[in-house]
């Protein structure tokens, strides 16, 4: 985005923190902000500088607010998600809904694949929202109103709230149902990747599936210091190493 803006002769700022950036932003005289892939709260002082700040959020709000909506939806075995454009407020993804579009999640779709697909669609939707705002046709709907219409309870909204990933979130719990394990693998692929212990080392698991006998088969793994390889190749090398 920075390179594209510079080719158009647009000024680009890259502040490390947003609060000290308020004065520079005020001097720019912006009509609106667009926020994407920013997993923190934008300071109210910055939001107050413009009539509207658009946020591109990859979920069907009010479900899956927070920093990791795509990973969480896949991990939870959801079959649908979407993109929501909201007018930002002081909360975490709590602003009025401006545009929203749902999409199925493929049974084998990974976080990386879903991210790229929704990023492209999100860019189109936020452009549409900006154009509607400019011509006075943009409609706003409070999330509480949308939740009532969809039959989404406050408990479900709270239960699907997300947070940044932690180290413990990457570990595979083999006591869980096979499909749940595969969904976890999908939700973390290609990065940061699910982890498990095999042959005395921690390996990354990028792809897995549930076999007919309800066992989990590791299809693609990354051992320490090596590149991606099939689970069968890794298993053979581990057996040979153990001899």
Query: What three-state secondary structure class fits 167?
Result: helix
What is the band of 240 on the pLDDT scale with cuts at 50, 70, 90?
confident
Confirm if 138 and 32 have CB atoms less than 8 A apart: no
What is the band of 183 on the pLDDT scale with cuts at 50, 70, 90?
very high
Query: Does the pLDDT of residue 223 top 80, yes or no?
Result: yes
- pLDDT given for residue 54 in this prediction: 97
Q: 2-159 is classed in which CATH architecture?
A: 3-Layer(aba) Sandwich (3.40)
Mean pLDDT of the chain: 94
In which region does residue 133 sit, left (phi positive, over 0), alpha (psi from -120 to 50) or beta (all else)? alpha
The tens digit of pLDDT for each residue in 36-83 reads: 988 778 889 999 999 999 999 999 999 999 999 999 999 999 999 999
Confirm if 87 and 129 have CB atoms less than 8 A apart: no
Query: What three-state secondary structure class fits 38?
Result: coil
- pLDDT given for residue 64 in this prediction: 98
Q: Among 3.10.25.10, 3.90.79.10, 3.20.20.150, 1.10.760.10, what is the CATH number of 167-242?
A: 3.10.25.10
Q: When comparing pLDDT for 121 and 16, which is higher?
A: 121
Query: Does the pLDDT of residue 243 top 80, yes or no?
Result: no
Residue 206 has which token pair?
A: 């990028």
Q: When comparing pLDDT for 17 and 99, which is higher?
A: 99
Confirm if 118 and 70 have CB atoms less than 8 A apart: yes
What is the band of 16 on the pLDDT scale with cuts at 50, 70, 90?
confident
Confirm if 45 and 19 have CB atoms less than 8 A apart: yes
The tens digit of pLDDT for each residue in 101-142 reads: 999 999 999 999 999 999 999 999 999 999 999 999 999 999
Query: What three-state secondary structure class fits 237?
Result: helix
- pLDDT given for residue 109 in this prediction: 98
Question: Considering only CA atoms, which of 108, 106, 105, 89 is closest in space to residue 97?
Answer: 89
- pLDDT given for residue 1 in this prediction: 86
pTM of the model: 0.92
Residue 33: its H or E element:
strand 32-36
**Distance, CA of 66 to chain centre:** 9
- pLDDT given for residue 41 in this prediction: 82
Least confident range from 24-33, 118-127, 185-194, 206-215: namely: 24-33
- pLDDT given for residue 20 in this prediction: 86
Mean pLDDT, range 184-211, rounded to an integer: 96
Residue 32 has which token pair?
A: 């609106």
Residue 75: its H or E element:
helix 69-75
Mean pLDDT, range 150-166, rounded to an integer: 95
- Residue spans per domain, the chain: 2-159, 167-242
């Amino acid at each position: 985005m920075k390179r594209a803006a510079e080719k158009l002769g647009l000024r680009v700022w890259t502040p490390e923190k947003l609060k000290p950036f308020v004065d520079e932003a005020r001097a720019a005289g912006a009509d609106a902000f667009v926020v994407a892939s920013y997993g923190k709260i934008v300071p109210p002082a910055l939001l107050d500088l413009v009539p509207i700040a658009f946020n591109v959020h990859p979920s069907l709000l009010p479900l899956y607010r927070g920093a990791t909506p795509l990973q969480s939806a896949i991990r939870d075995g959801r079959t649908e998600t979407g993109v929501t454009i909201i007018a930002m407020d002081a909360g975490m993804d709590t602003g009025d809904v401006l545009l929203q579009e749902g999409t199925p999640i493929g049974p084998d779709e990974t976080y990386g694949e879903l991210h790229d697909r929704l990023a492209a669609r999100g860019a189109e939707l936020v452009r549409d929202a900006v154009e509607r705002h400019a011509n006075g046709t943009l409609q706003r709907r409070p999330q509480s109103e949308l939740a009532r219409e969809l039959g989404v309870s406050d408990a479900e909204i709270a239960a699907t709230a997300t947070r940044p990933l932690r180290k413990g979130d990457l570990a595979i719990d083999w006591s869980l149902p096979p499909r749940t394990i595969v969904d976890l693998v999908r939700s973390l692929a290609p990065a940061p990747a699910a982890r498990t212990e095999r042959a005395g080392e921690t390996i990354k698991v990028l792809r897995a599936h549930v076999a007919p006998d309800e066992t989990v088969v590791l299809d693609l793994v990354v051992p320490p210091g090596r590149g991606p390889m099939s689970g069968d190749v890794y298993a053979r090398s581990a057996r040979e190493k153990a001899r």
